[in-house]
Structure 1
Amino acid sequence: MTITESACKSTPQSANLRIETLSFDKIPQQTRLFLDYLRDPVALRRFYPEAVRFHYQVTNRRDRVLANYKTDRAAVCEALERMNRVWKASEKTLANINLLRDADCLAVVSGQQAGLFGGPLYTIYKALSAVKLAECMTQRGLKAAPVFWIATEDHDFAEVAAAGFINRDCDLGRVGVPLEMHRDDVPVGCVTLNESVRETIQNLMGALPQTEFSEDLEKLLREAYEPGRKYGDAFACVMSALMSQHGLILFDPLDSQLKKLAAPLYSDAALRAHEIAVAIEKRSQELVASGYHAQVNPSENSFPLFLHDEDGARHALTRNANGKYQTKADGEEHSAAEFADWASREPE
């Protein structure tokens, strides 16, 4: 049987375009693990049990994924509709949220940090990859909706505070917002834009080549990156506009309603904190022993969650000699069970 996948079309020969490819192993600073995964992901199933050789093979997971899903779909979709409407979601996006309410619908999830003005180009590629795979699955008779996870809980503001682009002189240009806009202990998504962002947009538009899209681009950026708006919301507004015709659903993990729905997961992670930390440390050692680099620098005393105070600041927790966990800030210690109970009651 031949299946036509409108989202998986190759560039037609009649397009009169010259297409060139460059292997990642020709690009400096690529890790061995990444290159080996590109060559043969199945060979790395020891580290990536769900790896597949062809994208359509992920459909084999459908029944298992649906059977393991326990969270209230209606509540999730209510939160998704609320936040996506704020970001001026298209009718296609709202339709996909309604589709996701169905018990037999899958979510194809990608994601990235909330980069300035949409972030690096690969952010768009990630979003389109979710769209593409969701449509490929739909063409195979499955229900699927594309979702983009905005990593608003990230704290590395320096990574998202600037944008690179090709300027009028065909050189690499760069604009950014002041790093002082961010307080180190606060999630990037909670940063409030100040008046300086207007000048940043002006500098960008002055350096970009003028095209038939310039006016629309400037209008989009000025409406999205408005002083007083949260950094995560500004990014979401840009992504919503760029992906409107594709029905991409945007997801902000900082949302309090979604955190409440995730409370059982947080509680379980807290209760199994030491088990999780030991497993991560063991896996890191296995990666290094196989000639790869450790993905993180773990410790068996790590805790999988952060504690957020009333001011929104996050605090890391560490296991002490008594087997309890404490922050550096006040040194007050609690057991994993106490944190698990806390996470279930106040997941925000």
Structure 2
Amino acid sequence: MKLTYRDLKETTNLFRDFIYNFEKVDTFYAGNFRKIESFEKCRADLTKRKYFRNEIASILERQNSELGASVQTLKNISYLKDNHASVVFTGQQVGILGGPLFTIYKAISDIKLAGWLSEKLKTKVIPLFWLAADDHDFLEVNHIYLLNPQSQVTKIEYKPRTDWQGKPMAKVILEESINSFSKAVGENLAETKYKNEVLDKLFQFYQEGQFLSLAFARWLTFLLGKYGLVIVNPADKDLKKLAAPIFEQEIEQNGRLENIFRETNLKLEQRDYHQQIKKKENYLNIFVDNGQRSTVRKEKDFFVVEATQEKFTSQQLRGLLNQKPNLFSPNVILRPMIQSYLFPTLAYVGGPSEVAYFAQLKELYKALEINMPVIYPRATVALLERKTLEMLERYSLDIRDILTQDIESVINQVLEKTLPPNWEENFTKTQAEIKSKFEDLESEVAKLEPTLKETFATTKGKVDFELNKLKEKYFQAHKRKNKIVREQLYKVKNHLYPENDLQERKFNLVYYLNKYGFDLIDFLFQSIEVDDFEPKVLILEEEL
């Protein structure tokens, strides 16, 4: 079974052109991801700049060693000291238990692209994963979705006593309630031969007293560390210190940078492309954490930290930055600039939303004199279990039917095939015969009493209405009698398009690890191809 991005209603005009007609959007990007020449040019530009290679390598070695890094990961970090080495970035929020499936697809795409570029460019390209540890939306990362043994979409939420909303995720410590959360996860997973092993390993990382962001990092390191993935924790005070010059430029040039951003948005709008990032005017692209991560607003000659209403002059805010750089973090606009300022970033692997917001950033890179990386689309994957595939085949359906149509329409199509032969034709024929008889009778009535013509027309309309109603009731009765078909197709939908969302955006990996074991990771790694730019349908057999 095959899919294209054209099949998915979630695909925006911008992403569709990015994939299929790059020449329409090339003005918004640094290079065409399909052409090796784009990467060669970017690499040549990177060699003209100096980076904090030794300092960065030292920080990453410390961070990753604490996560249980593999030999290959530590080797990759050491390669960073080489002036010819570059990096491929991806990143994600630190969702509990690893977040949605696409997190793992992003990381694998990142690793495989780095390996492919290393071969093509004959130089070391290292895969880096940026933890969104500075993010402060706890409600986005505190839950998972999975399918319970009855194939129902189930949300399981971690509910600590402490209110962490608004706090950087790097500060979130898992509390006693992680135990009830882990119990709920176990109760909603089927009994399999892999269950104990998977849950024991998972909750070895996610346990009371651990930092949420570090639990995420350790879990990802466990899953993909052997492939050399390097974790970057931007909440690290030493990294913040190195990034201070970019924060300083944002403070000094905020008005100019805001105008540049606005102009790009107008160009996107003129081409009928959406703006992924909606930015309020007069707000800096930084957060300041004085107890709570807060936006900063420009108000005449002052900068106001909104959470505390503290006011700073430009000089005072820069003074705070110099004294306490660890209080500062970038928003979604400035974060990519900091990545490319700190690291020789050759490419960024992103999903459709990230591809869209990078289109808004090219001119900001230029303004800050930072090299923009080539933007590369991550793998989009649909996991199709054998039983679900058999159900589709039983009813002569394709995965596209489930992803592109309302499930009731799909059910109707299937049930129509199981109705008695010519049932609809018989209804239509009967309606036509009755209509013909009425027309014959109408002329007779009109001859006898012309004033009854209107009453006759009303009666004819009512009869026609009731016949249509009867036809619908007949079909609905057929649907009720075929309850099993209906239930099976709803289960298929739950597997492939849960709550009208792409599977990769909804489900957590633990559901699939529970059924297929840790060999699933190797299967995914082997199956995801770096030069395949269409959604991939992977069939999961009982034994991988």
Aligned to 1:314: 293
Q: 1:181 to 1:242 in 2, by over 3 A?
A: farther
Aligned to 2:475: none
Instruction: Give, in angstroms, the shift of residue 145 of structure 1.
Output: 0.9
**Equivalent residue for 2:258, pick from 264, 267, 277:** 277
Matched, 1:335 2:313: yes
Aligned to 2:441: none
Instruction: Give, in angstroms, the shift of residue 67 of structure 1.
Output: 2.1
Matched, 1:242 2:207: no
Partner SS, residue 197 of structure 2: helix
Give the length in aligned residue pairs: 325
User: Which is higher, the Rg of structure 1 or of structure 2?
Assistant: 2
Q: Specify the code of the residue in structure 2 equivalent to 1:149.
A: W
Asked whether the equivalents of residues 96 and 145 of structure 1 are also in contact (C-alpha less than 8 Å), the reply is yes
Asked whether the equivalents of residues 167 and 209 of structure 1 are also in contact (C-alpha less than 8 Å), the reply is yes
Length-normalised TM-score, structure 1:
0.86
Aligned to 1:263: 244
Q: Which has the higher contact order (CA 8 A, sep 6+)?
A: 2
Instruction: Give, in angstroms, the shift of residue 182 of structure 1.
Output: 4.0
Deviates more, 1:246-255 or 1:94-103: 94-103
Deviates more, 1:201-210 or 1:109-118: 201-210
Partner SS, residue 75 of structure 2: helix
Supply the RMSD in Å over aligned alpha carbons.
2.0
Matched, 1:290 2:290: no
Give the ranges of 4+ consecutive aligned residues of structure 1 lying more than 6 Å apart after TM superposition: none
Q: Specify the code of the residue in structure 1 equivalent to 2:152.
A: D
User: What is the correspondence of 1:144-223 to structure 2 with a 5 Å cutoff?
Assistant: 144-178=125-159, 181-223=162-204
Q: 1:41 to 1:157 in 2, by over 3 A?
A: farther
Aligned to 1:125: 105
Asked whether the equivalents of residues 31 and 38 of structure 2 are also in contact (C-alpha less than 8 Å), the reply is no
Instruction: Give, in angstroms, the shift of residue 179 of structure 1.
Output: 6.6
Distance 1:48 1:266 in 2: 23
Aligned to 1:5: none
Instruction: Give, in angstroms, the shift of residue 32 of structure 1.
Output: 2.2
Asked whether the equivalents of residues 272 and 336 of structure 1 are also in contact (C-alpha less than 8 Å), the reply is no
Deviates more, 1:322-331 or 1:39-48: 322-331
Instruction: Give, in angstroms, the shift of residue 229 of structure 1.
Output: 1.1
**Gap regions ≥5 residues in structure 2:** 327-544
Matched, 1:23 2:4: yes
Distance 1:253 1:146 in 2: 16
Q: 1:274 to 1:51 in 2, by over 3 A?
A: farther
Partner SS, residue 111 of structure 1: strand
Length-normalised TM-score, structure 2:
0.57
Q: Specify the code of the residue in structure 2 equivalent to 1:62.
A: R
Instruction: Give, in angstroms, the shift of residue 292 of structure 1.
Output: 1.9
Matched, 1:139 2:113: no
Q: Specify the code of the residue in structure 2 equivalent to 1:50.
A: G
Asked whether the equivalents of residues 76 and 228 of structure 2 are also in contact (C-alpha less than 8 Å), the reply is yes
Asked whether the equivalents of residues 284 and 295 of structure 1 are also in contact (C-alpha less than 8 Å), the reply is no
Q: 1:180 to 1:276 in 2, by over 3 A?
A: farther
Deviates more, 1:195-204 or 1:293-302: 293-302
**Equivalent residue for 1:326, pick from 304, 310, 317:** 304
Instruction: Give, in angstroms, the shift of residue 225 of structure 1.
Output: 0.6
Distance 1:60 1:296 in 2: 28
Instruction: Give, in angstroms, the shift of residue 100 of structure 1.
Output: 1.5
More helix by share: 2
Cα deviation code 1:207-248 (max 9, x no counterpart): 223334322211221111111111101100110000022010
